[in-house]
Structure 1
């Protein structure tokens, strides 16, 4: 059922009113932004002396090194979070209570604990007992536990969103749950989950900045310690904050652009899954039984 059946489409007056609201909102936002820029300029935050640190090669290399450290923590944390989330989602979808209940407990536990508390616990708490966690390990493990728990719910919701008729038809044909998950449910669920997964990875990237509070030498730590407090540059705390914010904005925009690109690509064309032999026949039978259209890419084994 289309949205036009449920709600009335806006008429000419409503469209004009909405356009006016958009113009007013844009003017207000630009006005606030202009006022902030004016106050920064009036307080001398754009003076060349406060930005002279950008000319030093040593500072530039330090920023590059901190950026690579941030990206390393993000990459490792993202991979571990995806794997951890997939395992927890599989556990929550399990038919066995001894698997489902512990997985649900872990998900709810680490979703409820703030990420910064996890970092403090792994670095300051466990190290007081001689655990020997480095700042990098404390940050990565915390990112894995927190974001992995959130991703587990994303995975579970995506799989449960697939029409039940397809899994029921697969079970009726004698397929086991593992094959149903891998061949029927996951390929369809991944399309719906992909933009949300990348959006959560954007959150994970921004969360790496919290590592500066546990002495992890990432971007924010470097800008705050090596630049923001330097007397020879006039203690450029605000310029350094603006610079590190701009870098994070660029990285997050790139990830958001990737999510938009993948979503548009999924809308344009469907993935071709090439199956042969009995698997192709089973998928066709499941699609017919559940009333789903079968797209190209299924091949039969003529030799059998």
Structure 2
């Protein structure tokens, strides 16, 4: 045998059982969706009277402004979280204990504190000490702190999951640790962990909705306000549907942009140049002591 068997091919009985479970699952999901739609129709949620508020231009202007404020908070939080994630990840990978341990403590602390608690402390706690902070910055800072610490662990795990031969090949051609990290390890780790990074950025986008609790005027707060407006028939369900569609659209757009960035990064001259400089034998991927390296430096 060439290797260990990690997965047994299912037999006829197992295949039939899996198909039955799949069919039952689909039927249950369809039944739940059908019941939900039926209740919406039975309670008149699709009647013209319930949707009359969306015929006003002013309503859509408010929705557009709330969407812009949501995107503004997410954009600042995403950039800050990525920057903080790289800083904390590099600190945790440091060879110096006096750098590594404090960064580890800060990362674990930020991961342990819920985002909503951070927002409360920033928006309601700091004024008690004489420091006023706008709701926008309370949302952004809280999202940066939490998601940055999570991304730090994602990036660190991606770097540490790479074969040891990758870094050894970099050192063998004269690169220092900073060069190995920048040219060899981080590009590969980011590509490998890109799905997880995108998933965390989607979480960041959806967590902007927590800002409504500290009165940040984003989509969810607007949905609550317009949904309770008696002048347009209190369309809380309809506003929820509209906001949900907007969030889904933004998440899909974010995933599309991330895939484009991933493809562009894979064609980056820096990454391709590093791949040409370093040729690591596939047999080194076990990380053993008898690693056989082929490191070539272009003169």
- When the two structures are superposed, what TM-score results if normalisation uses the length of structure 1? 0.86
Matched-pair contact (CA < 8 Å) for 1:170–1:180: yes
SS of structure 2 residue aligned to 1:5: coil
Q: Distance in 1 between matches of 2:227 and 2:46?
A: 14
TM-superposition CA deviations, 1:230-274 (whole Å, max 9, x none): 1111211122122212221222233345556777x59xx776545
SS of structure 2 residue aligned to 1:91: helix
TM-superposition CA deviations, 1:189-237 (whole Å, max 9, x none): 1110111111100000000000011110011111111x11111112111
Partner of 1:19: 19
Partner of 1:210: 210
Give the Å deviation of 1:172.
4.5
1:233 equivalent to 2:226? Answer no
Partner of 2:113: 113
Q: Distance in 2 between matches of 1:280 and 1:9?
A: 36
Structure 1 unaligned blocks of 5 or more: none
Q: Distance in 1 between matches of 2:99 and 2:191?
A: 27
Q: Pick closer, same or farther for the CA change 1:159–1:49 going to 2, 3 Å.
A: same
Q: Distance in 2 between matches of 1:142 and 1:194?
A: 23
Q: Distance in 2 between matches of 1:34 and 1:92?
A: 50
SS of structure 2 residue aligned to 1:50: coil
Matched-pair contact (CA < 8 Å) for 1:73–1:136: yes
Q: Distance in 2 between matches of 1:230 and 1:2?
A: 69
Partner of 1:243: 242
How many positions carry a matched residue from both structures? 289
SS of structure 1 residue aligned to 2:131: coil
Partner of 1:191: 191
Structure 2 unaligned blocks of 5 or more: 285-290
Partner of 1:35: 35
Q: Pick closer, same or farther for the CA change 1:183–1:262 going to 2, 3 Å.
A: closer
Matched-pair contact (CA < 8 Å) for 1:195–1:262: no
Matched-pair contact (CA < 8 Å) for 2:107–2:149: yes
Deviating 4+ runs (over 4 angstroms):
1-4, 257-263, 269-272, 288-294
Matched-pair contact (CA < 8 Å) for 1:92–1:100: yes
1:95 equivalent to 2:95? Answer yes
SS of structure 2 residue aligned to 1:64: helix
Q: Which moved more, 1:108-117 or 1:233-242?
A: 233-242
SS of structure 2 residue aligned to 1:223: helix
CA RMSD of aligned residues (A): 2.8
Matched-pair contact (CA < 8 Å) for 1:159–1:185: yes
Q: Distance in 2 between matches of 1:270 and 1:156?
A: 23
Q: Distance in 2 between matches of 1:22 and 1:6?
A: 23
SS of structure 1 residue aligned to 2:116: helix
SS of structure 1 residue aligned to 2:280: helix
SS of structure 2 residue aligned to 1:6: coil
Matched-pair contact (CA < 8 Å) for 2:169–2:293: no
Q: Distance in 2 between matches of 1:222 and 1:3?
A: 58
